[in-house]
Amino acid sequence: MQEFLGEIPLEATLPWDHVDTTVLKEFLVREWKRAMKAKLSPACEKPFNKFNRPFKRDDKLICYDCGCACDLPHITEERVANHENLLRISSKPGLRTPLAPAPKEAPVLRYRATFSKSGRSRFISHLDLSRGFARAFRRAGVSLKYSQGFNPKPLLAFTPALALGVEGAREAVDFQLGAPASIVDLRDALNAALPGGITVEAISVVPQGAPSLAGDVRSALYSARVPYKLERATMIPGKGSGSVETMPFNEESGLRAEEISAGAEDGESPGAIASGDGAFAGPILTDAAWHRGRVEAFNAAGSLMIEKRRKGAIVQVDLRKFVREVSLDHAGETGGIGLSFSVAFFEGGASVRPEEVLIGIYGFLPRGCDIVREDLRFASALPRPGTEPHAAEATIASV
Ligand code: SF4
């Protein structure tokens, strides 16, 4: 045992010595001796005494002659070329263009931007959206204010998170700047730097003491296009707070008795979708009258309970507390039916997701629904940027 656990002489032959790692044993011994003397070895392939600075072709690079015989002249050329390329990119017009100075008398540095999130960007999560905005500000050359403390973060505050896959027509973000900025230039610079599908429509100044977006929001207006050919979407139970865990168990959201009996005779009928116990054999073809029946049943229900996961526990939530009425639009539209509904936000941000409302209406989540959060309603009477873009911007620019 002592043989295996004891100190091995430096000159001893090791069991893995036959493996050619291209690094010389002498180099490792030299480094070990330096480590024993608590000496640091700066990273190789870098110029002497010029860390974190661009280097030139004639700079002497650190090399410990480790034996791997890397191509230092080639590495130097490559790095100089990369550095020059970066300089070329950053001097392109439209990127990091200095913003026009804002009027000096502008006293408020908290701003609110209204933006849309559509197309492929609807699959960007709330966390990534926040990161995307922070990066866009950096690319636009705008200095955001950061929180204090050990882990400072940019002071960005968004409206309640959109569910993944749901588009937002009029989302909002509050931010604070380190210096006043021209609003029109700021909007253009952000749009040039944001990912495709996210467009800032307008920016306005938020008065001192105005409530936060999350604390001020009272309801969200959604529209959903549901295909006539209904299939049940596969749902992956989430672990996060508020994720849909199970289907609604309230009988009122299940199919009507005549639909279930029709399913026994006809393979492609509403009865094939669900029978209240979660059995499903879809797809089925529906029409406007069928959807109207579902919506009327939802509106007539006194309560519609669903189960949600909140802070690791399953809780029962009454959908009807959050959604007063669902309207049926575009009944004649081919390919699908249009629904619109308003979802309330209660104290602490308690709310339900639009997919859960669809589950409440149909008894399952239909596949292929296009859901858009069209607008948000707030308790305070603050003007929303983008309501009258030109007039609003003219007013703001003169603040
Ligand atoms: S040969 Fe290359 S990898 Fe090895 S020490 Fe020198 S610079 Fe570093």
Instruction: Render pLDDT for 97-126 as a digit per residue (tens, 0 to 9).
Output: 555 555 555 455 789 999 999 988 988 999
Minimum CA distance residue for ligand 1 atom 2:
70
Ligand 1 centroid, distance to 8 Cα (angstroms): 27
**Residue spans of beta strands (DSSP E) within the chain:** 110-117, 156-158, 167-176, 198-205, 217-227, 229-230, 284-285, 305-310, 313-318, 323-329, 336-344, 370-378
Q: Which of 79, 41, 82, 33 is nearest to 63 (CA)?
A: 41
Alpha helix stretches (DSSP H) within 106-174: 126-139
Atom index in ligand 1 nearest the CA of residue 63 equals: 6
pLDDT band at 390 (very low <50, low <70, confident <90, very high): very low
Specify the higher pLDDT residue, 127 or 181: 127
Dihedral sign from CA coordinates of 362, 365, 369, 372: positive
Please give the CATH number for the structural domain made up of 110-210+382-397.
3.30.70.580
Query: Mean pLDDT over residues 49-74, rounded?
Result: 78
The protein residue whose alpha carbon is closest to atom 3 in ligand 1 is 70
| Residues in Cβ contact with 334 at an 8 Å cutoff, skipping those fewer than 6 apart | none
CA–CA distance, 126 with 302 (Å, rounded to integer) = 33
68 lines ligand 1 (CB under 6 A): yes
pLDDT number for residue 389: 37
Does ligand 1 lie within 6 Å of residue 64's CB atom?
A: yes
Highest mean pLDDT among 89-98, 165-174, 267-276: 165-174
**Closest Cα to residue 95, out of 4, 12, 188?**
188
Q: Is the CB of 106 under 6 A from ligand 1?
A: no
| pTM of the complete model beyond 0.95 | no
Percentage of the chain modeled with pLDDT above 70: 74
Ligand 1 center from residue 65 Cα (angstroms)? 6
Q: Where are the domains of the chain?
A: 2-90, 110-210+382-397, 218-378
